[in-house]
Structure 1
Amino acid sequence: MTTIAAVHGVLAPHRYEQGEITEALTAMCAASDAQRGVLQRLHATAAVSTRHLALPLERYRESGGFGRANDLFIDVGLRLAEEALSGALAAAGLAPEEVDLVVSTSVTGIAAPSLEARLAGRVGLRPDVKRVPIFGLGCVGGAAGLARLHDYLQGHPGHVAVLLSVELCSLTLQRADTSVPNMVAGALFGDGAAALVAVGRHHPRSGDFAGPRVAATRSRLYPGTERALGWDIGDSGFTIVLGAELPELVRLHVGEDVRSFLAEHDLKPPDVTGWVAHPGGPKVLDALQESLGLDARALELTRRSLAEVGNLSSASVLHILRDTLAHDPPPPPGGPGLLLAMGPGFCSELVLLRW
């Protein structure tokens, strides 16, 4: 099995109460009383209390275009990536030159060379480190990235692999877009990064780490749902695609997939001792909880993360995994855990853990 050696999450430097963000976006994006009312209602019902942003709030008034926003993504994102990766390696007690593979994921900016390539010399990764930068997975990227790390370590069981997620959602803000999906995005998403370090089963230190093992994974695309979630990309940058049917898709598909995946391993939802679920928003979490018959405690850490930092896209599930491992009491040793997320496609990714 793949062993998770460490997870480290970081947040963008500027922290604001939800009310402060609501006030700023109302002034920037809402031209009429009706639009202001919708925006304020969506912010009030998003179940988010505070968020961290890449820039001070007043700088989001600037209209610099897609290129300027992407330059900021590279600048701020590289700093957060270095902090996340260095913190995860330090927590694992591993040196940068021991890393054999880096999988990086983001859906809020574009960089070529990619962020992990720009980071390699700064943190001391080997010149022959393998790199797999991934764009387009969106919120599912943290779970899918872990699954792909596991695939690699199955074939290279003596290696060290790192997953790096950097998401600066606020830099995709479309000030001229007064659609409900854009207002929902403005109410939910925050900025942050995370890194996860994993080792294969034959790594000489695999038995030293107290982190969970990856037992199995499942990827699933749901045909005919391509317009449920994603981006439209135009001259002004990324415009959110966010269908109102998303909670119903979770009820129809994700709950059933979770049950069948667990059944393959002789498990049922009540057997899971730790749920590490992406915080897609309050309606999505309600749908997931209802479809699986979970009690309120099962998604407590996920809802707490949504309240404290918002939805960090692919980085969120890694922050919640870190919080789960640090929780008192931690999950019981040997028990099953499930890490899951949903993303554009519409798709889901499931990762069965053993604590």
Structure 2
Amino acid sequence: MGEEGIWKDVTKQGINPGKATILALGKAFPPQLVMQEFLVDGYFRSTNCDNPELKQKLARLCKTTTVKTRYVVMSEEILMKYPELVSEGIPTVKQRLEICNEAVTEMAIEASQACMKNWGGSLADITHLVYVSSSEARLPGGDLYLAKGLGLSPDTQRIMLYFAGCSGGVAGLRVAKDIAENNPGSRVLLATSETTIIGFKPPSADRPYDLVGVALFGDGAAAMIIGSDPILEYEKPLFELHTAVQEFLPHTEKKIDGRLTEEGISFKLARELPQIIEDSVEGFCDKLMSVVGFQNKEYNELFWAVHPGGPAILNRIEKRLDLLPEKLSASRRALMDYGNASSNTIVYVLEYMIEEGLKTRRDDREDHEWGLILAFGPGITFEGILARNLCALNVT
């Protein structure tokens, strides 16, 4: 069967037997909500810094990121308990991990419970756990603490993905897809959890990129249930995961550079990162689209669930692929409301996509809309999944 035949055959089907589907989504956040308009004064006050030049620079960055609100673990109580976090040159990785390890587990449990509630299944039905985080380090890992906190069976098979950065959510989804399709009857819980405390530092002219992180990143957790052959009596498939691809760009490993130091994690992003992604995104997407016979650059025929690494990346992708503005609206909303929450953010994007789809559904709209789920992380690594939006099947 040629590519065109594959496309027509698959489109006519409801849910393809054996193909992994996302069955539920969930999210959770720490209690501190930060309004972007008050961030600058609060950050400089809490770090005891009085540098007008750096303050003005952060104010400019806060406007360009398009972020309006974020949630963060950091609080006045934490800074009172650990005042050394705002001091230069003091080893604080131990203190940071004490905070982060507990915080990410708590958020992951809450997000997983929310996801389970949305799913309708039971803990006993969970056969596998995939846990993703770039905000902790311990042995045993956060996957065990999450399993224990949820009360999962000791027989639950676990896997961790650490330090995959912004691509971690889609990487975890790729792994969960493989597990679900190779273990008939399985139900995979994918949980992601992140906090910026691991890299929180006072402002410094020697670390100008830190201000970008302050203006852009947020904390939170997310969860998904993935399984094939859904039981339609109580499971509502949201997206079918058709094909997953990972690709790294040679000679770009220093373009997203993160290092665990005695003072926490230190990140550096190359200025040319948005350009590098723009130059490579078209070929990567064409590779995924060709699986079902999309031709002639039919990008606007797809839905686009893109991890919002930042407005520059979204703008470059929109321009290179000549996307209609609404195609990235879910990504832009997630960035505005939650900031770049690293691996979690793709779930927030998918939630907004479902919400927007239900509001704008038309009779002439294709019931099984194809699209791409994309993220970019250290490597530079591209993660992509060709998927179908099945939400129309749940509308009666």
Fold similarity call, TM over 0.5: yes
Give CA-to-partner distance per residue, 1:52-97, whole Å, 9 cap, x none.
Answer: 1113257457224121111111222121111111111121111112
Choose the corresponding residue for 1:192, options 202, 220, 238.
220
User: How far off is 1:261 after superposition?
Assistant: 1.9
Query: In the alignment, residue 64 of structure 2 is paired with which amino acid?
Result: T
Q: TM-score under structure 1 normalisation?
A: 0.94
Counting only pairs closer than 5 Å after superposition, residues 50-89 of structure 1 correspond to structure 2 as: 50-56=69-75, 59-60=78-79, 62-64=83-85, 65-89=92-116
User: How far off is 1:30 after superposition?
Assistant: 5.5
Correspondence for 1:40 = 59
1: distance between equivalents of 2:99 and 2:74? 9
Correspondence for 1:17 = 35
Larger-gyration structure (1/2): 2
Q: TM-score under structure 2 normalisation?
A: 0.84
Choose the corresponding residue for 1:329, options 360, 382, 385.
360
Gaps of 5+ in 1: none
2: distance between equivalents of 1:245 and 1:168? 26
Query: In the alignment, residue 55 of structure 2 is paired with which amino acid?
Result: R
Counting only pairs closer than 5 Å after superposition, residues 64-143 of structure 1 correspond to structure 2 as: 64=85, 65-143=92-170
Match status 1:299 vs 2:328: yes
User: How far off is 1:255 after superposition?
Assistant: 2.6
1: distance between equivalents of 2:182 and 2:49? 52
Query: In the alignment, residue 276 of structure 2 is paired with which amino acid?
Result: L
Match status 1:261 vs 2:255: no
Give CA-to-partner distance per residue, 1:9-40, whole Å, 9 cap, x none.
Answer: 11221001112221122342755333222222
Indicate if the aligned counterparts of 1:73 and 1:168 stay in contact, CA closer than 8 A: yes
1: distance between equivalents of 2:263 and 2:73? 19
Give CA-to-partner distance per residue, 1:206-232, whole Å, 9 cap, x none.
Answer: 994231111111101001111111312
Task: Say which is worse superposed, 259-268 or 63-72, in terms of deviation.
Answer: 259-268
User: How far off is 1:263 after superposition?
Assistant: 2.5
Instruction: Report runs of 4+ in structure 1 exceeding 6 Å deviation.
Output: none
Correspondence for 1:160 = 187
2: distance between equivalents of 1:30 and 1:214? 48
User: How far off is 1:143 after superposition?
Assistant: 0.7
Match status 1:345 vs 2:372: no
Gaps of 5+ in 2: 1-18, 86-91, 390-396
Correspondence for 1:146 = 173
Indicate if the aligned counterparts of 2:247 and 2:381 stay in contact, CA closer than 8 A: yes
2: distance between equivalents of 1:13 and 1:68? 20
2: distance between equivalents of 1:69 and 1:252? 37
Indicate if the aligned counterparts of 1:3 and 1:214 stay in contact, CA closer than 8 A: yes
User: How far off is 1:235 after superposition?
Assistant: 0.9
The 1:208–1:51 alpha-carbon spacing in structure 2 relative to 1, beyond 3 Å, is: closer
Tell me how many residue pairs correspond in the alignment: 353
Indicate if the aligned counterparts of 1:146 and 1:163 stay in contact, CA closer than 8 A: yes
Indicate if the aligned counterparts of 2:22 and 2:239 stay in contact, CA closer than 8 A: yes
Give CA-to-partner distance per residue, 1:258-291, whole Å, 9 cap, x none.
Answer: 123212321231220x211101111111111111
Indicate if the aligned counterparts of 1:200 and 1:206 stay in contact, CA closer than 8 A: no
Choose the corresponding residue for 1:310, options 339, 362, 376.
339
1: distance between equivalents of 2:273 and 2:30? 28
Give CA-to-partner distance per residue, 1:291-323, whole Å, 9 cap, x none.
Answer: 111111111111111111100000001111122
Indicate if the aligned counterparts of 1:103 and 1:163 stay in contact, CA closer than 8 A: yes
Counting only pairs closer than 5 Å after superposition, residues 270-309 of structure 1 correspond to structure 2 as: 270-272=300-302, 274-309=303-338
Indicate if the aligned counterparts of 1:228 and 1:243 stay in contact, CA closer than 8 A: yes
The 1:29–1:320 alpha-carbon spacing in structure 2 relative to 1, beyond 3 Å, is: farther
Indicate if the aligned counterparts of 2:40 and 2:55 stay in contact, CA closer than 8 A: no
Indicate if the aligned counterparts of 2:54 and 2:203 stay in contact, CA closer than 8 A: no
Indicate if the aligned counterparts of 1:103 and 1:145 stay in contact, CA closer than 8 A: yes
Partner of 2:84: helix, strand, or coil?
Answer: coil
Partner of 1:44: helix, strand, or coil?
Answer: helix
User: How far off is 1:122 after superposition?
Assistant: 2.8
Partner of 2:66: helix, strand, or coil?
Answer: coil
2: distance between equivalents of 1:206 and 1:114? 36
User: How far off is 1:145 after superposition?
Assistant: 0.7
Give CA-to-partner distance per residue, 1:97-149, whole Å, 9 cap, x none.
Answer: 21111111111221322223112233221111111011121000111111111
Correspondence for 2:393 = none
Indicate if the aligned counterparts of 1:21 and 1:57 stay in contact, CA closer than 8 A: no
| Superposition RMSD in Å | 2.0
User: How far off is 1:329 after superposition?
Assistant: 3.2
- Identity score, percent: 24
